[in-house]
Structure 1
């Protein structure tokens, strides 16, 4: 077993200052050197048109563009390199798993990937310039793997396919843009229909009305349907699915079989986090091991988070934080049945 941790980062202020603060934290962090080592020489071959990226941010997330400037300034990095590192518009996403189960009152989500892809950063950010406050784990620094905003909108995404990719935002940046800009499921669906998608993903959404929706999004098409279970295949855009979907279908069927016994969020958490229930994955070497199990309760405005399996969740009161109270906890600790740790060590 390997011990892992996520740092809890709290910030209130404008996006430029938020980016600058994160840049200061990253200066002496192993995260950026580790990621550059992973990509090696490929990193410099990530080609893009700066004006195209800037126009996309101007339309969908102008404040996050200012965050990129703050990161670049703090790290003495030119804007082109900042876009490569943090822009969320161009990034080759590794094949991964992920499972989501929701009810009208909560969403539980297993984020499955390779440990060396995980930054170990859990953020609470309340912008003072524009956008909603958001809580959730980061990916590619500026993006979010899942999360909840101050209006009670919850979002999590599941990988489908990276073939036939196109110019557009990647999953983690789309997730961040949804949470910062959408107050409910309907507004999130509208944004997902407009925003350009680089890869194919499911986006599971839940809001305080209890509406539970899965949006199937590819670079070519976007559709949605009501559902409370979501894994790694499309139900409607079936032409976009991978050739092999056995594992995804099995996890879906196991949740369907067990959901009759799920009467509260803790039992749902145990279904996804217990290693003997068939949903939690230890396939870390295949980029499909469960790194965290997250629970979001939009009506209570609380979140739970656990790193690794068979864990007790850490419970965070987002509403109290929104009321101005700073969280006293600074780190989330866990264990993985893997030889690799997160890239924050």
Structure 2
């Protein structure tokens, strides 16, 4: 059993300075060495740049800021943080329930490749957003000031190709998209490197799951409740699933059992965050342990989030934060069993 922490960052600044300040926070942290071990020595910078220029040029500035904040070359910064041409990594697990009222999800993996940062950022030229960092500029999930929320769910490495990671795609969506339809359109255009589900909803009650492969994107909808785990459910893409998906199927059945429960955001959040829940896992050595729970209410514009085995629940009125009211500085403390 070991303690672990997540630092909560609040940055209202230019994209460059967001990168610079984030770099100073993660400088010397174990995540840097971990990323050095799994990323390539170099990538095709010009191709990466052309993709970013098309979808999120502000993130090029953020990576320049990371480069300067960490005092490393820009080439090294983009190989570590761009999420472009990332080698295959081990499977991760994520479970989410999406309704017209709220979004709730768990992220399940191991702590070695966990950034340990939750960021609220307000760049000058794109939308404000909040979410857990992945590879510094990417996000596991998050919500933006327009009330659009989105999260990733790994499916498989079928048809693996050079392209963008799912966590980079999520950040691009949060920075620039207003609605679920906007996000779907962007995810149809982004060059994906692997097979992922993207669970999402907006403040208009439009909920969807984007089932994305490097060659095809399919949309799954339901007006009341969608569950999303780690396998494709649309018939056209089922052949892209991993051979063994028993755990994913079991979690999906649990999530579907909430359909007629009429649970509040807090009640659903507890069903995910409670360490006694069948949705909470402690198989950290097998890269399947619950690291954090994230939730957003569309009506209240309220974020609830906590990390594993923590007594702290970070409760944020996101609308007030966007308008300029900072939350109290804090560090989330949890336990890895």
User: TM-score, normalization: structure 2?
Assistant: 0.94
Residues 261-270 or 80-89, more deviating: 261-270
Structure 2: segments with no counterpart, 5+ residues: none
Q: CA deviation at 1:28?
A: 3.8
CA deviations over 1:5-42 (Å, ceiling 9, x no partner): 11111111111111111222233434313443xx2xx6
> What is the aligned partner in structure 2 of residue 342 from structure 1?
none
Cα contact 1:100–1:110 (8 A) shared by 2: yes
Matched, 1:112 2:82: no
> 2: distance between equivalents of 1:280 and 1:111?
9
The residue number in structure 1 matching 2:208 is: 213
Partner of 1:307: 307
Deviation of 1:112 after TM superposition, in Å, equals: 0.6
Structure 1 range deviating more: 139-148 or 13-22 = 13-22
For residue 260 of structure 1, give the secondary structure of its aligned residue in structure 2.
coil
Q: How does 1:249-268 map to 2 (within 5 A)?
A: 249-268=249-268
SS class of match (2:93): coil
Of 92, 99, 103 in structure 1, the residue corresponding to residue 99 of structure 2 is: 103
Higher relative contact order (CA 8 A, sep 6+): 1
Q: Does 1:269 align with 2:269?
A: yes
User: Cα–Cα, structure 1 residues 311 and 162, in superposed 2: closer, same or farther, change >3 Å?
Assistant: farther
1:176 is paired with a residue whose SS is helix
> Within 2, Cα distance between the matches of 1:262 and 1:286?
34
Q: 1:229 aligns with which of 227, 230, 235?
A: 227
CA contact (8 A) 1:273 1:311 kept: no
Measured after TM superposition, the shift of residue 255 of structure 1 is 1.7
What is the CA distance between 1:151 and its match in structure 2?
Answer: 0.3
Report the Cα offset of residue 259 of structure 1: 3.6
1:135 corresponds to 2:130: yes
The counterpart of 1:88, out of the listed 78, 83, 87, is: 83
Q: Which residue of structure 1 aligns with residue 327 of structure 2?
A: 327
Aligned residue-pair number: 331
Within 2, Cα distance between the matches of 1:259 and 1:268?
A: 11
**Whole-Å Cα distance in 2 between the matches of residues 25 and 47 of structure 1?**
24
What is the TM-score with the length of structure 1 in the denominator? Answer: 0.91
- Secondary structure in structure 2 of the residue aligned to 1:72: helix
When the two chains are superposed, the root-mean-square deviation of aligned CA atoms in Å is 1.6
Q: Structure 1's 259 and 2: CA in aligned 2 closer, same or farther, altered over 3 A?
A: farther
After superposition, the C-alpha distances for 1:155-188 in whole angstroms (9 at most, x for unaligned) are 0110001232112110110010011110010000
In structure 2, the residue matched to 1:57 is 52
Please report how far the alpha carbon of residue 277 of structure 1 lies from its aligned counterpart in structure 2 after TM superposition.
Answer: 3.1
Whether 1:12 and 2:8 are equivalent positions in the alignment is no
CA contact (8 A) 1:93 1:162 kept: no
Q: Residues of 2 paired with 1:298 and 1:123: CA distance?
A: 19
1: CA distance, partners of 2:113 / 2:29? 15
Q: Which runs of 5+ in 1 are unaligned?
A: 338-345
Deviation at 1:78, TM superposition (A): 1.9
